[in-house]
Amino acid sequence: MKTLQQLLRLEKLHKFIREEHTGTPQQVAEKLAISRSTLYEMLTYLKDVGATVEYSRNRRTFYYAKKFHLKVKVTVTVLKNEEAEKIIGGTCLSQRISIELE
């Protein structure tokens, strides 16, 4: 479930940036319960997927220099053992998590 937690944090970070209400890097890292280095990794990811994230020292906030939309969609489907065996090739997985970023 670590991936789900990371996606939820990414969605929350996007919301803070979109609202231009992040605070300093240390403050937003604390809000997300992550380290500053993890925050910068997340910001790099956003930039890699096309976001123009910038920081204003005067306003003490990250912001998008250009419009950017991020939609995080997570679907969890519980599978029967037989279904899991066909898809995965084993019986150890009883849930399938599908993650879609738009």
Higher-pLDDT residue of 76 and 1 is: 76
Give the pLDDT confidence score for residue 22 in this predicted structure: 96
pLDDT in tens, 6-37: 888 999 999 999 999 999 999 999 999 999 99
Does residue 76 sit in the same domain as residue 56? no
Does residue 10 sit in the same domain as residue 60? yes
Does residue 58 sit in the same domain as residue 32? yes
C-beta separation of 8 from 73 below 8 A: no
* Nearest-angstrom CA–CA distance, 54 and 20: 10
pLDDT in tens, 51-96: 999 999 999 999 999 999 988 777 777 777 777 677 655 444 444 5
Domain that holds residue 82: 72-101
Does residue 59 sit in the same domain as residue 32? yes
Does residue 41 sit in the same domain as residue 86? no
Does residue 8 sit in the same domain as residue 43? yes
Instruction: Place 98 in a pLDDT band, splitting at 50, 70 and 90.
Output: low
- Domains contained in the chain, number: 2
92: left (phi over 0), alpha (psi -120 to 50) or beta: alpha
Does residue 89 sit in the same domain as residue 49? no
* Nearest-angstrom CA–CA distance, 90 and 80: 12
* Nearest-angstrom CA–CA distance, 65 and 56: 11
Does residue 34 sit in the same domain as residue 57? yes
* Nearest-angstrom CA–CA distance, 62 and 60: 7
